[in-house]
Amino acid sequence: MKNEGLKGIIAAQTRISHIDGNEGNLIYRGYQIGDLTDKYSFEEVAFLLWYGCLPTFDKLSILKSELKENRYLSVTMKSVLDLLPKDMDLMSVIRTVISAEGKSDYQWPPTIDQAIRLTAVIPSIITYRQRTLAGHAPVEPNSKFDHVENYLYMLNGVLPSKAQVNALETYMILTLEHGMNASTFSARVTASSESDMVSAITSAIGTMKGPLHGGAPSGVMELLNEIGTIENTENIIREKLNNGEKLMGFGHRVYKTHDPRAKALRKKLLELDGQDSWLDLAIHVENVAINILNELKPGRSLYTNVEFYAAAIMRSLNLPSELFTATFTASRIVGWTSHVLEQAENNTIYRPQSEYIGDFKGS
Ligand code: ACO
């Protein structure tokens, strides 16, 4: 049975981002991603994605205040968090608690205020769950801190260093948005039925959870832990590929050259942590794997994707692997909500067709 996963099909026009997979470029609303990570904050780039332009000083202050005001978990969200089984994975927890936000004020059409609320509250869900599971008291949001700094503060209960905030902010800006990826498509399909923002976002979270999409960084960590030393690299990679396994953190549906986000993260890591032996191993694995992939899968143009170095960033921040996909969700919520808003501007329900290849029985 053929299933091409809609490869190469244009599902919608968008003004939000552009990916040039052959040249390895990523553009948000006309700006090169490298220019944005060098010069702007999480809040400024979120504003750009939601409103279509960079904010003035005053508009940025308003957005920052709105994000701060919306960080608090509702009583319902806290009750749901306290009730969920301890062995429920974090992505399922986020999906369920976001569902609990779906009150009557989340009706079609979606609004930027809803996007701000969902973006602001996700770090609070993640950190509340993480800390209570570890037997620690949750840390309340601190209005002195901006979005990324506050996330790290609520997670660890201590003020993060500037370098830590900068590393995570770079990662989050790089992963805010990425065209019609699987989770964004899910959000748009749900929104296209004129369902509400919360429903669209829970669809996206469910899609993000899968190991072929947002679940890859934990797989990268497992791969690097399994390889362990520079000497083991070639044998383990060959063995995996000969067994028909996919290498986590390699390959991309759209990029047929280096993923610009992986390149930007690698540069940031080298600035931060140039002496780290684990990072040396990651760079070695990247080089060896690309050569072997080129030899065993010629013409497939397989390089590292953003998830490969995302794992390294998360590790340098001492984030446990269960937080990787959740942290990706905390940034991609901005892209999802931007797409839901864009879908609502000129909506047509998504309704592709399938080709029946079964039997015709009877008369
Ligand atoms: N390791 C080994 N071989 C690979 C890999 C990989 N990581 N990725 C693709 N290939 C091979 C496939 O086996 C296939 O080979 P074949 O022609 O001999 O059958 C060929 O390259 C094409 O692969 P597809 O799976 O058809 O490519 P597709 O565009 O459908 O998949 C995907 C892209 C899902 C990302 C894939 O590369 C993959 O599974 N990578 C590993 C998981 C991963 O890192 N996911 C994160 C992606 S980034 C993100 O979601 C934010």
> Quick one: 189 and 156 in the same domain?
yes
> Quick one: 29 and 96 in the same domain?
yes
> Quick one: 204 and 270 in the same domain?
no
The total domain count for the chain is 2
What pLDDT band is residue 349 in, cutting at 50, 70 and 90?
very high
Q: Is 300 in the pocket of ligand 1 (CB under 6 A)?
A: yes
User: Average pLDDT for residues 39-65, to the nearest whole number?
Assistant: 98
CATH number, residue 269: 1.10.230.10
Assess if residue 21 is contained within a domain. Answer: yes
User: Average pLDDT for residues 284-299, to the nearest whole number?
Assistant: 95
> Quick one: 25 and 138 in the same domain?
yes
What's the confidence (pLDDT) of residue 350? 96
Q: In the listed set 300, 316, 332, which residue is the last one of a domain according to the structure? A: 316
> Quick one: 81 and 156 in the same domain?
yes
Task: Tell me 362's DSSP state.
Answer: -
CATH number, residue 156: 1.10.580.10
Assess if residue 312 is contained within a domain. Answer: yes
Cα(356) to ligand 1 centroid in Å equals 27
Assess if residue 169 is contained within a domain. Answer: no
Active-site position among 252, 286, 339, 342: 252
Task: Tell me 53's DSSP state.
Answer: S
What's the confidence (pLDDT) of residue 231? 95
CB-based contact 215:98 (threshold 8 Å):
no
Amino acid at residue number 81: L
Residue 73 has pLDDT above 90, yes or no: yes
CB-based contact 329:121 (threshold 8 Å):
no
> Quick one: 33 and 103 in the same domain?
yes
Assess if residue 241 is contained within a domain. Answer: yes
Residue-range definition of the domain harbouring residue 263: 218-316
What pLDDT band is residue 214 in, cutting at 50, 70 and 90?
confident
Active-site position among 43, 307, 339, 342: 307
> Quick one: 75 and 206 in the same domain?
yes
Assess if residue 12 is contained within a domain. Answer: no
Beta strands in the chain (DSSP E): 17-20, 25-28, 31-32
> Quick one: 121 and 243 in the same domain?
no
Assess if residue 168 is contained within a domain. Answer: no
> Quick one: 181 and 231 in the same domain?
no
CB-based contact 215:301 (threshold 8 Å):
no
Average pLDDT of every residue of the chain: 93
What's the confidence (pLDDT) of residue 2? 80
Q: Whose CA is nearest to atom 49 of ligand 1?
A: 213
Alpha-carbon torsion, ordered 303, 306, 307, 311, to 10 deg: 110
> Quick one: 194 and 238 in the same domain?
no
Assess if residue 6 is contained within a domain. Answer: no
What's the confidence (pLDDT) of residue 215? 76
Cα(67) to ligand 1 centroid in Å equals 36
C-alpha distance from residue 118 to each of 106, 109, 201, 299, 308 (Å): 11, 15, 9, 41, 27
> Quick one: 152 and 286 in the same domain?
no
pTM score, whole prediction: 0.90
For the beta sheet containing 17-20, the strands, ordered from the edge strand earlier in sequence to the opposite edge, are 17-20, 25-28, 31-32
> Quick one: 267 and 311 in the same domain?
yes
For 113-147, the pLDDT digits (tens) are: 999 999 999 999 999 999 999 999 999 999 999 99
Cα(265) to ligand 1 centroid in Å equals 20
Residue 286 designated active-site? no
Amino acid at residue number 125: I
